[in-house]
Amino acid sequence: MQKYKCNTCGYVYDPEVGDPDSGIKPGTAFEDIPDDWVCPVCGVSKSDFEPEN
């Protein structure tokens, strides 16, 4: 699964890890995260993330 990086702070969302503190279970693809999810580090919206190369 594709990792996504926050354009603002550099946080990388890894689908194998998820974001348990925000209720996102490991194994959740970025595309399947709710649209109202925000970066757990800086708080920007999901739209501010890009696929990591």
pTM attached to this predicted model = 0.93
Q: Could you tell me which residues are annotated as the binding site for Fe cation?
A: 6, 9, 39, 42
pLDDT at position 53 is 83
> Cα–chain-centroid distance for residue 10?
11
Domains of the chain (ranges; CATH) run 4-51 (2.20.28.10)
pLDDT at position 42 is 98
Residues 6+ apart with CB under 8 A from 13: 3, 4, 5, 6, 19, 30, 33, 49
Q: Could you tell me which residues are annotated as the binding site?
A: 6, 9, 39, 42
Summarised one tens digit per residue, pLDDT across range 1-53 is: 999 999 999 999 999 999 999 999 999 999 999 999 999 999 999 999 999 98
